[in-house]
Amino acid sequence: MKVLVVGSGGREHALVWKISQSPLVDKIYAVPGNGGISLLAECVDIAVDNLQGLADFAQRNNIDLTVVGPEVPLVLGIVEVFEQRGLKIFGPSKQASRIEGSKSFGKEFMKKYHIPTGSFRVFTDKEEAIDFISSAAYPLVIKADGLAAGKGVIISRDKGSAVDTVNKIMVEKVFADAGTKLVIEEFLVGEEVTVLAFADGKTVVPMIPSRDHKRVFDGDVGPNTGGMGAVAPSTMVSDKTRQKILREILEPTILGMKTEGCSFKGVLYVGLMMTEVGPKVLEYNCRFGDPETQVVLPLLKNDLVEIILSIMEGELDLEEIEWEDFFSVCVVLASGGYPDKYEKNLEIFGLNKLSKEKSRDVHIFHAGTRRSVDRFFTAGGRVLGITCVDASLEKAINKAYAAVELVQFKGMHFRKDIGYKISKLMKIDY
């Protein structure tokens, strides 16, 4: 079969890599793809928000299955566009994707279906928001309602910074129309965990829990990014806690979406805070996470394409999904200045050396790269994700950083503490 993967990041490279292992697949296309993806798939330069152009391409090339990586096309309604043409596509509908596309919808949904989360208020008027924060307890979490490329969440520790954040979002429009509405919510204390789950509208099967590292600098300092690294499985989540998350969060979410008339078929991302009283939802996403995908998929024993097809047929309950009993660690190599301004078109050195030394347990997932013959250049903020797998978390961490030392480009920076904190945390057993 012919498969089309939509997207251009490290998540999409991991998806293409895993899909390429399926005996069901003869040919992979990626739009627009990146330098690393071009080694496994034919890359075509079509923007991910050009829904009609993507559908035209899929139709012309007799694509059997399209897999969507990023949130933007899902929120815009790519699933409906494809299905109207009789094209198979994996991902939630436009209505279901509101769970990520509108943070206010997500929070109101949690409240309606009694899914544990922090208290919150939704505002469309700047003055009302400022009146609220004038008497609120700090810290506060202020979120732009719409999509903001993972950067629309700001923690304010005092009134001054909160007022400044409200003005930037609602007046200066730093996140454009995403900031027309905003959510102000309680700051939850605890340790973060990400749970990705396969869902076919009625059945939900969680993947192994992972831990993202969102802040740009060591020690969780600096602004939020799309993610500077990840670890899977999260050592702090016990089997009992996993069952609690399934029973009290994942299953009610899928059932609630069905009740709302927008069954969720695809991958549900749930960002959790493990508080003193139990896991609480920080946010929903309507797709695979990035960089969580880069640590989760290397541990998946199953054929990903078979799982996707079973979800599309509503037969996820028939799948026996299995995981390797190993640890996976991803360290993201970013451009100097990221998540703010950064240079592009800088040559990346050391990839050939790393490729020669890598084994089945070392994976180079390209994100912001472009390829010119046999040379690679930077083309984005997050450039590469080096993922390593080993029997112990400590060994996986050490292997990842040893691999990172082989790669160089001007201004390259990365966190040096990916996985260290979680390796010292005790299991949480609610």
Block mean pLDDT (10 aa), the chain, length 430: 98 98 98 97 98 98 98 98 98 97 97 97 95 92 89 89 94 91 95 97 97 94 92 92 96 97 97 95 96 98 98 96 97 96 96 72 95 96 97 95 95 96 75
Work out the number of other CB atoms within 10 angstroms of the CB of residue 52. Answer: 10
Distance CA 352, CA 339 (A): 27
Sequence-ordered list of residues with C-beta below 8 angstroms from that of 154, at least 6 positions apart, any chain? 141, 142, 143, 165, 169, 224
pLDDT at 344: 97
Q: How many helices (H) and strands (E) does the chain have?
A: 15, 23
Domains for the chain: give ranges and CATH numbers: 2-91 (3.40.50.20), 119-186 (3.30.1490.20), 189-430 (3.30.470.20)
Beta strands 382-390 and 211-212: pairing type?
unpaired
**DSSP E strand boundaries for 203-315:** 204-206, 211-212, 215-217, 221-224, 229-232, 265-275, 278-285
Classify residue 192 by burial, with Cβ atoms within 10 Å: 0-12, 13-18, 19+.
middle
Roughly how many angstroms between the first and final C-alpha of the chain, as a whole number?
Answer: 45
pLDDT at 255: 97
pLDDT at 428: 74
CA 70, 103, 283, 430 dihedral sign is: negative
pLDDT at 165: 94
Classify residue 217 by burial, with Cβ atoms within 10 Å: 0-12, 13-18, 19+.
middle
> Angle 213-218-222 (CA atoms, 0-180°, nearest 5)?
80
Instruction: Report residue 243 as tokens.
Output: 């069952």
| 221-240: pLDDT as tens digits | 998 899 999 999 998 899 99
pLDDT at 271: 97
Quote the pTM value.
0.95
Classify residue 167 by burial, with Cβ atoms within 10 Å: 0-12, 13-18, 19+.
middle
Residue type, 190: G
